[in-house]
A and B are shown apart, each in its own frame.
Chain A
Amino acid sequence: MSQEAYIFEAIRTPRGRGKQSGSLHEVAPVELLATLMREMQQRHDLDTSQVDDVVLGCVTPIGDQGADVARTAVLYADWDVDVPGVQLNRFCASGLEAVNMAAMKVRSGWEQLVVAGGVESMSRIPMGSDGGAMMLDPKVSSKVNFVPQGIGADLIATMEGFSRGDVDAFAVRSQQRAAHAWENGYFQRSVVPVKDQNGLIILEQDEHIRPDSTLASLGKLNPAFAAMGELGFDALAQQVYTEVETINHVHTAGNSSGIVDGAALVLIGSKEKGAALGLKPRAKIRSAALVGTEPTIMLIGPGPASQKALKLAGMTAKDIDLFEINEAFASVVLRFMRDMGIEGAENVNVNGGAIAMGHPLGATGAMLLGTVLDELERTDLSTALISLCVGGGMGIATVIERV
């Protein structure tokens, strides 16, 4: 019988707008990680030499965040030199993949204490800067019928019948819930302000958020993917989804996830190691699952991945108190709710999500886990399911339970 993997801590930076004028543009990604590593160490007086590995997601691992940013951050943050580090890339799921991999390491019994998390400075290293055959090698992209994610999201909306009003309403809800959570200090425990070398604060709150968004204001935004669809991507998608007559381009900058900079860390370990170091277990990881799905529509993985994870945990959707689904696009979450038979449920993304606060690719999964764990504790609930859609047609899910 393998040992359980417990979550002791989950912290994150605030998210800065992912452009030159964003507050975190001046902060190197390794510095974002070091901010959290120092905080993690200080918060628990952690003997870092006890950490077996640091597993960090980063989706565009080049330039400032290239060359194994995990090991780099360990050394830069003055953690013990004995601590190794690895960077992984499962596209948008990387942060949660890191958590799941850490849990697997612990559950295997081969490692006892692992830091998971991720980082992405999207302002410094724009999406796609690392190239890749899926998108750029014609024989490959042609074979997999590659279309950009936004086309996939619009395809979902079209096939599911989500109108522009539906997705905009969802976006407004995300903004209002995120603003409400910030106003009431729900994120206080876990968001670590980013400071400069003098201790001067650079950013202490998510800055992508627009609490004053309304259906009317969002309704004015132009569809983001219509033009590129027109070029040929729509036609390509329709060759795969033959029953679709017209793709309804409902997604805009206002109901898609924001491009931001940020980082997150989660401390995961065995009960014994936690006890030896005086760490209080907050939750255990009940199960973790991955799926591959049809790549053109790309973003329908959360449902099947969640079913797989629930099955592993011997649970059903009814056993989950809170769902935390990445708001890559509004239609992804709406489709997920339909897939899970929880349409209209109020316990999904109760404190908003990436539409309001942004999606720092490599870090988001770990941020979602921390956000929902904080909320479980605040409302004294027990179980949560975290899931993200993933580029290339994949899905990821994790089930946690408070202890």
Chain B
Amino acid sequence: MAIQYAKDEQNIVTLTLDRPDRSANVINAEFGAALAAVLARLQAEADLAGVIVTSAKKTFMAGGDLEWLYAATDAAEIFASAEALKAGFRTLEKLGVPVVAALNGTALGGGLELALACHHRIAINDPRLKLGFPEVTLGLLPGGGGVTRLPRMIGLQASFPLLTEGAQLDPVAAKTAGLIDELADDVADLLTKARAWIVANPQAAQPWDKPGYRIPGGDPRQPKVGQMLSVAPAMLKKRTFGNYPAPEAILSVMVEGTVVDFETASRIESRYFAQLATSQVAKNMINAFWFQLNEISAGASRPKAVPPQETRKVGVLGAGMMGHGIAYVTAVSHLPVVLKDVTLEQAEAGKAKIAALLDKRVAKGKLTREERDAALARVQPTADAADLADCDLIIEAVFEDRSLKATVTQEAEAVVGEATLFASNTSTLPITGLAKASQRPSNFIGLHFFSPVERMKLVEIITGAETSAETLAKAFDFVLKIRKTPIVVNDSRGFYTSRVFATYVKEGLALLGEGQHPRAIESAGLQAGMPVGPLALSDEVSLGLMLHIREQTRQDLAAEGQTMPAHPSDAVLDVMTGEYGRYGKARGAGFYDYPAGGKKQLWPELTTIFPPQGEPLSQPEMIERLMFVQALEAVRCLEENVVTNAADANIGAIFGWGFAPFKGGTLQYINDYGVAAFTQRSQALAEKFGDRFLPPERLQVMAASGAQF
């Protein structure tokens, strides 16, 4: 039985959520049946004094059954199941006796919705206990009464961010927000307080079931509230560009639901829930952020034969922006780290930046003073390679220069043990080539961190030709240990992320070269769901670096006896740098002007230098070019075995360069479009805009067979 039933001498029934044979409770058909059974039993009790709802697991309940929801395609079935669950919750809150949620652990999504259907909520005051509605992050809404109850509890305005942003609050913040009513010290205190509340409130009913009830802060028919609500869709679209149906649906349920009675509001919520759950966006997001992310964390790309590997001490070479960031994430993950630079002053400057990052976390209340001091104490700045001696993982983060990297590799290898791993944080230089400087190329691997390291969740692990399975396994386990997401790729120019990312930027330049309006290009990028437009991104990366990488590629290919294929962005890059000396943001001028103290603005001369030719492309066409070019490159990476599975490709794209999350990643973009339709459209784009849009053979085969990524 998923819910235990126990009645005590005070006639209080404790319902304990306890899913058999599993570590966490979940809302599914089995739970629904158990709820119906205990409700029937509660209704049959003659002398019931109250009900406590708690959990036998570490968490209270973390939400709904995503496997079922992901597979569900029938809106009528989803609607009916949401209605059934809600009918149960409604029965619970209308039992006529006080019902208390005793939150012994995390309550998210459906778990928190169950708690909201109780009259009183008490949580153990443990900062690891999280409360919130993360549904929106999976393209869904809380369909178990969450959007109906929360505004009725805390008002429309206060509910809006909690429901549309999916924040997970600790108990103190949740109490401030009005999600819960009381804090407890531990389980014993929790249950004592729950009983005390039941005894003190024998007549408990929900506020919305009491006569004269008004929504806190007013309902949408009041002019003051109406005014606030009129700007809410604009606020949403400002950040979603209309690509995310879930926050819009949540707002609709909030507004439509608060001008009608509770039951009608509930039904409106179920209808929107069914719509979202059957939407392609939800499927994309659940696929990426649930299934594929879990697949990655479970080690799908890790050699299975190698047992778990522990990293005990890390050496970071170079205390610059990447180096100190890597040292920081290592130290906060409770690993000692040696931060080495050429001089002690440079190393200490790096440590000072780590201190600043830690202080920021303390100021935000995310870290205690003691934790901060302990983390900082784990960082040992040095200029002496001998201090690396007992490190079992060295990560170099020095300038992107082959000979410099070779020097630091050899310097470190001279002092460390034979088993020590050597990782290069290169974003562009092939790992197999760098490994040539190493005495132990089987211990050599690429760990490509993203900037800023403390914020970017992805680490791209690159295996060289000689990298051993043990090395890969240890690197993989280390990345998980520092709470980053590892994807594993094979050595190739630009690896996976830089290679595919570059196609987006270059396509933007190509569009400019064709005379498309620069603002329309940037707008297309943003509307496509990319975090930054391609021209602004070029300025960030710097046109100089793009030029440098291009020339390096040309030389490398020449050495292999190949010619680099021409790209329409080449001319744009040459004109911008060669003729106008505009190298990007760092140099104060690129595609944008960067007025001192002002907001960047597109350089007005762009429309003169790249004048319009013929009819401008429509936004949808530009959006397709910017997205197709990335998706196609991702397919080529898969075809060339640079990435080996869809999870790594999709998550790498979203976490690496912010590829439109609502599309679920580069390869999922193709599933979303339809593999056959995508292939056909690629062909058409290739005919119009060039061979870079030609569908790779693998895609054609898949289109013919009806396969998906």
Contact = CB atoms under 8 A, between A and B. Distances in A.
| Max chain A C-beta neighbours (<10 A), residue from B264, B272, B274 | B264
Given A26-B267, A63-B221, A198 B261 contact: no
Interface string A18-41: 001000011010000000000000
B76 interface: yes
A278 B256 CA distance: 39
Nearest to A197: B275
Contacts of A199: 75
Nearest to A200: B76
Contacts of B267: 26
Interface string A187-198: 000000000111
Contacts of A26: 256, 260, 264, 267-268, 271
Nearest to A199: B75
Interface in B258-310: 259-261, 263-264, 267-268, 271-272, 274-275, 278
Contact of A20 (B264, B271, B274): B264
B79 interface: yes
B278 A198 contact: yes
A196 B79 CA distance: 11
A172 B264 CA distance: 32
B76 A198 contact: yes
B260 A200 contact: no
A25 B264 contact: yes
Nearest to A198: B75
Contacts of B271: 26, 196-198, 200
B249 to A, nearest CB: 9
A78 interface: no
Contacts of B272: 197
Interface residues of A, number: 12
A261 to B, nearest CB: 12
A309 B307 CA distance: 93
Contacts of A198: 75-76, 79, 271, 274-275, 278
A53 to B, nearest CB: 26
A105 interface: no
A95 B245 CA distance: 35
Interface in B228-260: 256, 259-260
Contacts, number: 37
Contacts of A63: 221, 259
A15 interface: no
A64 B75 CA distance: 27
Contacts of B75: 198-200
B274 A124 contact: no
Nearest to B78: A198
Interface string A41-78: 00000000000000000000001100000000000000
Contacts of A124: 259-260
Nearest to B226: A63
A196 B267 CA distance: 11
A3 to B, nearest CB: 40
Interface string B617-661: 000000000000000000000000000000000000000000000
A297 B103 CA distance: 65
Interface in A121-157: 124
A276 to B, nearest CB: 29
A124 B261 CA distance: 10
A200 B79 contact: yes
A25 B79 contact: no
Nearest to B265: A26
A261 B272 CA distance: 22
Contacts of B278: 198
A199 B75 CA distance: 8
B275 A20 contact: no
Nearest to B263: A20
A198 B223 CA distance: 32
A167 B324 CA distance: 90
A64 B275 contact: no
A129 to B, nearest CB: 10
Contacts of A196: 271, 275
| Max chain B C-beta neighbours (<10 A), residue from A25, A26, A64 | A26
B272 to A, nearest CB: 7
Nearest to A64: B259
Contacts of B274: 198, 200
Interface in B76-92: 76, 79
Interface in B1-52: none
B466 to A, nearest CB: 55
Nearest to A31: B256
B641 to A, nearest CB: 42
A196 B272 CA distance: 9
A197 B259 CA distance: 19
Contacts of A197: 271-272, 275
B261 A20 contact: yes
A25 B264 CA distance: 7
B313 to A, nearest CB: 57
Nearest to A66: B221
A15 to B, nearest CB: 17
| Max chain A C-beta neighbours (<10 A), residue from B79, B221, B267, B272 | B221
Contact of A28 (B79, B256, B263): B256
Contacts of B275: 196-198
A59 B76 CA distance: 35
A200 B264 CA distance: 16
A149 B271 CA distance: 39
Nearest to B75: A198
Contacts of B256: 26, 28
A28 B278 CA distance: 23
A124 B75 CA distance: 26
A200 B78 CA distance: 11
A63 B261 CA distance: 16
A124 B219 CA distance: 14
Nearest to A28: B256
B12 to A, nearest CB: 34
Contacts of A64: 259
Nearest to B271: A196
B442 to A, nearest CB: 56
A128 to B, nearest CB: 15
Contacts of B79: 198, 200
A361 to B, nearest CB: 19
A63 to B, nearest CB: 5
Nearest to B273: A198
A26 B148 CA distance: 13
A193 to B, nearest CB: 15
Nearest to A63: B221
A211 B278 CA distance: 39
B260 A20 contact: yes
Given A198-B278, A200-B76, A25 B259 contact: no
A28 B257 CA distance: 11
Given A200-B75, A200-B79, A200-B271, A25 B260 contact: yes
A202 to B, nearest CB: 9
A63 B79 CA distance: 28
Contacts of B268: 26
A366 B648 CA distance: 60
A197 to B, nearest CB: 5
Nearest to A25: B264
A63 B223 CA distance: 10
A199 B260 CA distance: 22
B131 to A, nearest CB: 29
A63 B255 CA distance: 12
Among all A-B residue pairs, the 3 with the closest Cβ atoms: A198-B75, A196-B271, A197-B275
Interface of B: 75-76, 79, 221, 256, 259-261, 263-264, 267-268, 271-272, 274-275, 278
Given A26-B260, A124-B259, 6 more contacts: A20-B260, A26-B268, A196-B275, A198-B76, A198-B271, A200-B271
23 contacts: A20-B260, A20-B261, A20-B264, A25-B260, A25-B261, A25-B264, A26-B260, A26-B264, A26-B268, A63-B221, A63-B259, A64-B259, A124-B259, A124-B260, A197-B275, A198-B75, A198-B79, A198-B271, A198-B274, A198-B278, A199-B75, A200-B79, A200-B274
